[in-house]
Amino acid sequence: MGIDGHDSAMSPAVAVRFATVTFATVALCSIAAPSTAAADSEAKALKLSQQALKNYMLERYEQAAQLYRQAWLNHHSQHVYLYNAARAAQRAGKFDDAERDYTLFLRNAPRTSPERPKAAKHVQEVRAELARRRPKAKPTPRPPPRRHVRTKRFNRTPKRKPDPAPNGSPGAGKRALGWVLAVAGGAATIGGGVLLLQVNSRQTELDQKKSKRDENGKIVLIGFEEARAEQNAINSSLYRAYGVTGVGLAALGVGAYLVASTPSSSVSLAPAFGGRGLLVAVEF
């Protein structure tokens, strides 16, 4: 008989009566049975089960589980001892021991045992409790993304000194460019001036032709269409002269600035080719 019906709610009188009947049964079995080693083991097992029951009734479930298991070890054919050990261990909170004893009972007890359905139910309860108490595996934290660190390479090769400017002077190229611009600007300015003189001469000549009129006030030296075409040509030449002169003056100014910002040098200007050209002499 299992201990499911002998919970802590059982009265002391009932417990004493049950122990007395059990002890009388042991005494009768001892008298009737032959004096063999098996009989001694059965008697010892019965005595251990009585002690286990007393501890179970006093809610000493852990001691009861140990005593019931010792009783089963002395008398393996009494599978109820193993069931009672598992039940007491479950009440004591020893779920590992309870699962072990329930499993052994279900493996060895006959199929007709009345405790078998109860053991099958209780072992599921014990396994569920073990699964609930088992610590859950913590998720492995992902490593932080690696940051790419740029390493600065130090060049141990000594820096090469820049080559000196041509002609031994760092401003020789700048000065030469300044003179080129100045000369070109001067030439353009002179050319523009010559164009302006030519335009002025042509305009004077056209005005003289327009001034010659007959007694009716009609121009006699040049026709109207011819005079208009000539005036348009003079105006175009005038605009061209202004443009050439402006560009020449700008180039002359830039060249003069470049020359002035470099070491001094001597320049000589002289008219040439009968006033139609300019001769430049530069001394570095």
Residue 83 lies in a domain: yes
Which of 102, 132, 162 is the C-terminal boundary of a domain?
132
Residue 212 C-beta-side C-alpha neighbours within 13 Å: 10
151 versus 2: which is more confidently predicted? 2
Residue 102 lies in a domain: yes
Tell whether 15 and 123 lie within a shared domain. yes
Residue 205's domain comprises: 172-283
Which of 101, 132, 163 is the C-terminal boundary of a domain?
132
Residue 86 lies in a domain: yes
Tell whether 79 and 187 lie within a shared domain. no
Residue 154 lies in a domain: no
Query: How far is the C-alpha of 184 from the C-alpha of 255, rounded, in Å?
Result: 9
How far is CA 25 from each of CA 18, 19, 29, 47, rounded to the nearest angstrom? Answer: 11, 10, 6, 11
Q: Is the pLDDT of residue 254 over 70?
A: yes
Q: Residue 60: give its domain's CATH number.
A: 1.25.40.10
pLDDT average, residue stretch 51-68: 96
Query: How far is the C-alpha of 162 from the C-alpha of 169, rounded, in Å?
Result: 13
Tell whether 191 and 99 lie within a shared domain. no
Q: What pLDDT digit, counting tens, does each position of 151-170 carry?
A: 666 556 666 776 655 555 55
Q: Is the pLDDT of residue 92 over 90?
A: yes
Q: Tell me the whole-structure pTM to 2 decimals.
A: 0.41
Residue 198 lies in a domain: yes
Per-residue confidence at 245, pLDDT binned at 50, 70, 90? confident
Task: Find tokens 């089960």 and name the residue.
Answer: 49
Q: Give 282: exposed, middle or buried? Use CB within 10 Å, 0-12, 13-18, 19+.
A: middle
Residue 211 lies in a domain: yes
pLDDT average, residue stretch 222-230: 82
Per-residue confidence at 79, pLDDT binned at 50, 70, 90? very high
Q: What pLDDT digit, counting tens, does each position of 194-214 carry?
A: 888 888 898 998 788 778 777
Which of 79, 108, 132 is the C-terminal boundary of a domain?
132
Tell whether 122 and 180 lie within a shared domain. no
Amino acid making up residue 51? Q
> Coil, strand or helix: which one is 143?
coil
Tell whether 118 and 210 lie within a shared domain. no
Residue 166 lies in a domain: no
In this structure, of 107-121, 168-182, 249-263, the range with the lowest mean pLDDT score is 168-182
Tell whether 123 and 238 lie within a shared domain. no
Question: What is residue 12's predicted lDDT score, i.e. its pLDDT?
Answer: 44
Number of domains in the chain: 2
Residue 161 lies in a domain: no
